[in-house]
Amino acid sequence: MNRSISGTDAGRRGLSLVELVMAFFLIALIILPIMRALPQSFGIAGRQADQEIAIKIGESTVNTLLAVPFETVSGSPGIKHVPFDLQTGSGTLPVSLQIDGLLGTGSVRIGRTDYLIRITLKPEYSGPPHAATALVFGFAAPPPGAGVASYACPDLFMMIRVDVEYGQRGAPVTLATFRADLRQ
Amino acid sequence: MTMRKRMTPRHGFALFSVLLAAVIIFVLAATLYFNTCSQTAVHTRLAEQTKALMAAKGAMQLAQYKFRMLPSEFYILEHIHRTGSPNDIARHTAAWMDDFDPARPNSPAARLSASLNAVESGTYQLGVATFTLVTRTGKGYTKDFLRIESWGSYNGIRRSLETLLEVEVTH
């Protein structure tokens, strides 16, 4: 009886050991790839959050540059300061852009990420009338010609390009639009 | 023999538990992974929508600038819209709107689209869909508004922008 019981106990212990070994093996099999995947997922999530903030910073910068007096974005020499407020989840952050000629910069730190704003201005059309660089519009000529007449514009028509770099985590966000000289 | 029979149901209990836990962990990890993947797609789309919106804003500037340069010609177009023959309306409308058609070679819209395409990889297009005069009569005065609907697209993602601008007469 004693032998039988001790034999049974031994069998139970052995079986548990095999089960435990298999259990650890299976857990390791599942956990190891997850351990490798989790930091990747968190890294991607962090990068996406930074990218989303960079897009919003870029959009705010473009909107600001569309609203300032045209002289600021005309590419004229001299340093121009363009302050604007950036709305974030934790409040309002003041940002200052500095534009000198056709280039500008600015920076802002949100959380632990530094965002560097680069502005590039380019005259897309620059006049004067009759030059190849003038923006030419068409309109219907009055009869009897009945064709399309054209008008060459004398003003600047600027491309505004904004690049927002965020740390070393990804490619910069690039946004571009145009600004017409509507002063006249 | 009796003892073996009593022990049998306990065999593989730990293994079963671990398999269950492993499946649960796997499902959670797979959910996290697929959530991350879908978030990546959402963020990419957000970036494309913002780029398309910026292109639409550029097209809006082009439209406003054309009106600023050629207000009389636009009012002639509007007059023809009300009084002209269908042929005249078509001719004047085409002449005015062709500048905002990116599919028309060498049009300002085509050239601006090409300039945006040179900025980065991806396909930009911009244009103006609607350019009309809205007249509202008040007490003793009439106000004119421009209704402009511009659009921009980036990699096939299209965004539109509609603006109602009051026309101010300056002397």
Q: Which residue of B has its CA nearest to A143?
A: B88
Length of chain B measured in residues = 171
The percent of residues in chain B predicted with pLDDT above 70, rounded, is 90
**B99 CB-near residues (< 8 Å, 6+ apart):** A137, A138, B62, B66, B107, B108, B109
Residue A161 and residue A175: Cα distance in Å, rounded?
Answer: 6
Q: What is the DSSP letter of B168?
A: P
How many angstroms separate the CA of residue B135 from the nearest CA in chain A? 22
Contacts of B108 in chain A (CB under 8 A): 135-137
Q: Model's pTM, two decimal places?
A: 0.82
Interface test with A, best of B51, B60, B124 (most A CBs within 10 A): B51
Query: What pLDDT does B74 receive?
Result: 94
Question: At which residue do the structure tokens 């421009």 appear?
Answer: B146
β-bridge mates for residue B150, sequence order: B128, B161
A148 Cβ under 8 Å from any chain B Cβ: yes
The pLDDT tens digits for B118-129 are: 999 899 999 999
Q: How confident is the model at residue A183 (pLDDT cuts 50, 70, 90)?
A: confident
Q: By the CB < 8 Å criterion, does A178 face chain B? A: yes
Q: What type of residue sits at position A180?
A: A
Task: Give the separation between CA B81 and CA B93, rounded to whole angstroms.
Answer: 8
Which tens digit of pLDDT belongs to each residue from A48-104? Answer: 888 899 999 999 999 999 999 999 999 999 999 999 999 887 888 999 899 999 999
Strands of the A79-88 sheet, one edge to the other: A79-88, A91-100, A103-110, A113-125, A157-166, A173-180
Token pair listed for A9: 């106990």
- How many interchain CB pairs under 8 A, A with B? 143
Q: Which residues make Cβ contacts (< 8 Å) with residue B43, sequence separation at least 6?
A: A48, A51, A52
Q: Across the interface, which of A58, A59, A138 has its CB nearest the CB of B95?
A: A138
CA distance B46 to chain A (A): 8
The answer to whether residues B101 and B93 touch, using CB atoms and an 8 Å cutoff, is no
A38·B29 Cβ contact <8 A: yes
User: B131 has which bridge partners?
Assistant: B148
Residue-wise pLDDT for B140-167, tens only, equals: 788 899 999 999 999 999 999 999 999 8
Tens of pLDDT along A112-155? 889 999 999 999 999 888 888 999 999 988 776 678 889 999 99
Predicted confidence (pLDDT) per residue in B46-90, tens digit: 999 999 999 999 999 999 999 999 999 999 999 999 998 998 899
